[in-house]
Structure 1
Amino acid sequence: MKKILLIGLLAIALFGYLDKNVQTTQIVQNVFAADTVASDSASNSALQNAIDNRQSKVQVAGSGDVIKVLSDDLKGSRHQRFILKIASGCTLLVAHNIDLASRIDGLNVGDNVEFYGVYEFNNKGGVIHWTHHDPRGKHQGGWLKHNGNVYQ
């Protein structure tokens, strides 16, 4: 009887694991990534390497303090914009697509924001974008983390 109960419980767990709710699975994976990737020193050095070498289209993780909150970019896809200063002293514009992900409400100068997205070089330090999921599933999803909340 115990074997049948155990097999039944395993079947329920497996069915839940194989649930077709990909969005929930992706959220769980990205929340896990938010807790691990941004603290990875290799990821932070990948960001600094991309900055130093003026590279673009580089998937990076890092964190910084908000030094300026800008108005939303409303041309085409809407983006929440703000500038971060990272530990090296470099500044980065974050362009977070709020048509695909939730905006960070209550974002203020001085707040710390962790990020995982794509770095693009420019002469002002660079831009971080793709800080959201890809609804087509063809691009690695990114995220922002602010006050313990993950936005993707």
Structure 2
Amino acid sequence: MNKTNLRIGIIILVLIGAYLGFDREQKQNPQLNNTQSAVVQSETQSTIDDSGKIRQAFQQQQSNVQVHASGRVKAVLADDNDGSRHQKFILKLSNGLTVLVAHNIDLAPRIEDLKKGDVVEFYGEYEYNPKGGVIHWTHHDPQQRHIAGWLKYQGKTYQ
């Protein structure tokens, strides 16, 4: 056996070992993808789930974190009509954490007929609070100083 064949054989063995180790880790910890870099298919056909990123921001008490995920409506709250008006509801994320969504209805249309159990996808900014956090900036910024966010519900985008 010459040196080239020996090197190729060693490389193949290393690659097989790496693959088997990764496969074993996935089987031993199937929730790894759910909490760190989850990719899910929600009823809105999203392929991004930053719920792990949100959980980390919550645990580290971080704010101003841009996130994209979806959740199931746990409660629909009364609108906040002090100052800028906001539609408010609580979503339960795939990781079990609950967040308050504060959607500015002076800048974007409200979601009509939203009810408990509905799935809402969002792209907005996470702000820490001890109850789980708040998602806001789920709308366009008319002054174009902030990343535009949105909500998606039953195939319609609210921005």
Alignment partner of 1:82: what SS? strand
Aligned-partner residue type, residue 147 of structure 1: Q
User: Percent identity between the aligned chains?
Assistant: 57
Structure number with bigger Rg: 2
In the TM superposition, residue 50 of structure 1 has moved relative to its aligned partner by 1.3
Measured in 1, the distance between the counterparts of 2:150 and 2:129 equals 21
Partner of 1:147: 154
Partner of 1:65: 72
Question: CA contact under 8 A between 2:124 and 2:137: conserved in structure 1?
Answer: yes
Partner of 1:128: 135
Aligned-partner residue type, residue 119 of structure 1: Y
Q: Kindly indicate whether residue 12 of structure 2 is the aligned counterpart of residue 40 of structure 1.
A: no
Partner of 1:29: none
Q: How many residues align?
A: 116
In the TM superposition, residue 39 of structure 1 has moved relative to its aligned partner by 2.2
Q: Kindly indicate whether residue 117 of structure 2 is the aligned counterpart of residue 96 of structure 1.
A: no
Partner of 1:75: 82
Alignment partner of 2:66: what SS? strand
The one-character-per-residue Cα deviations of 1:24-67 (angstroms, maximum 9, x if unpaired) are xxxxxxxxxxx89x5225x4432232122221011111110001
Q: Kindly indicate whether residue 118 of structure 2 is the aligned counterpart of residue 111 of structure 1.
A: yes
Measured in 2, the distance between the counterparts of 1:93 and 1:40 equals 19
Question: CA contact under 8 A between 1:47 and 1:62: conserved in structure 2?
Answer: no
Measured in 2, the distance between the counterparts of 1:57 and 1:105 equals 28
| Alpha-carbon distance change, 47 to 39 in structure 1, aligned in 2, over 3 angstroms | farther
Root-mean-square deviation (CA, aligned residues, Å) is 1.5
Measured in 1, the distance between the counterparts of 2:103 and 2:116 equals 17
Measured in 1, the distance between the counterparts of 2:120 and 2:146 equals 22
Alignment partner of 2:64: what SS? strand
User: Where in structure 2 are there 5+ consecutive unaligned residues?
Assistant: 1-43
Question: CA contact under 8 A between 2:104 and 2:139: conserved in structure 1?
Answer: yes
TM normalised by structure 1 equals: 0.72
Partner of 1:15: none
| Alpha-carbon distance change, 44 to 123 in structure 1, aligned in 2, over 3 angstroms | closer
Question: CA contact under 8 A between 1:47 and 1:61: conserved in structure 2?
Answer: no
